[in-house]
């Protein structure tokens, strides 16, 4: 079964008790909208492309079915402000295949702060930054992760890396999955019957367990 990778954390939809996430399943995009009140998935949607307009329209449609937008309007300005970061994460994932999580993203060391700065120069910040990072710094083995290649046997599990020369997706040597298997993958994203809580397919119209219509 293909692995479902969530590209983003839960992003709150201001003005509502909901949040949403963007996911990747074998190079296909999906979005799920979650009701944070009871941590329940409202709907999972397949996306042909990831744009701010597509995401906003789906959120408005899905949340509007559950809540009255007159009494609880979506904050479009707040939602739009989050799109630049979200779309950059999606673009970076397309280029490198690496998820933007703490396990794969390491913060760059901050340059040393100089106590004496030259006043009234527009380039003083860049001059300070350039000087700080160009100076040699003595580091010990206790606080440095050595970048050299280890002589020990490499781990058997794949390691996600941002390096362009080390793609993380294997070559498509296996035959393409059947659409039924892809549908099965989307079904694990957390769609449940609102009446009996039984797990149902993401595109099911009626719960097979109790017959309740699935919106």
Pairwise CA distance, residues 7 & 104, whole Å: 12
- Tell which residue, 13, 12, 16, 28, has the closest CA to residue 189: 28
Phi-psi region of 211 (alpha: psi -120 to 50; beta: other; left: phi over 0): left
User: Residue 24 corresponds to which tokens in the numbers above?
Assistant: 């990747």
User: Residue 191 corresponds to which tokens in the numbers above?
Assistant: 């769609």
Q: pLDDT for 94-137, tens place per residue? A: 787 655 543 333 334 455 556 555 454 545 555 555 555 555 55
- Tell which residue, 208, 187, 5, has the closest CA to residue 97: 5
User: Residue 152 corresponds to which tokens in the numbers above?
Assistant: 């020990």
Q: 90-105: buried (b, 16+ CB within 10 Å) or exposed (e) per residue?
A: bebbeebbbbbeeeee
Give yes or no for residue 181 having a pLDDT over 70. Answer: no
Who wins on pLDDT, 152 or 106? Answer: 152
Q: pLDDT for 31-49, tens place per residue? A: 899 999 888 998 889 988 8
Confirm if 179 and 195 have CB atoms less than 8 A apart. no
């Amino acid at each position: 079964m293909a692995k479902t990778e969530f590209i983003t954390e839960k992003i709150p939809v201001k003005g509502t008790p909901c949040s949403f996430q963007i996911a990747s399943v074998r190079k296909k995009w999906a979005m799920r909208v979650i009701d944070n009140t009871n941590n329940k998935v409202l709907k999972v949607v397949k996306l042909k492309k990831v744009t701010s307009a597509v995401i906003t329209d789906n959120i408005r449609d899905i949340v509007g079915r559950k809540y009255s937008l007159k009494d609880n309007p979506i904050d479009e300005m707040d939602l739009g402000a989050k799109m630049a970061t979200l779309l950059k994460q999606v673009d970076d994932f397309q280029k490198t295949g690496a998820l933007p999580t703490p396990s794969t993203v390491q913060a760059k060391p901050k340059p040393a702060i100089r106590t004496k700065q030259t006043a009234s120069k527009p380039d003083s910040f860049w001059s300070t930054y350039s000087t700080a990072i160009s100076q040699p710094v003595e580091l010990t083995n206790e606080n440095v992760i050595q970048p050299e290649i280890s002589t020990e046997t490499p781990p058997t599990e794949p390691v996600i890396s941002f390096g362009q020369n080390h793609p993380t997706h294997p070559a498509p040597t296996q035959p393409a999955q059947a659409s039924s298997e892809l549908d099965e993958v989307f079904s694990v994203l957390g769609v449940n019957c609102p009446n009996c809580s039984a797990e149902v397919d993401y595109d099911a119209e009626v719960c097979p367990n109790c017959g309740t219509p699935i919106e």
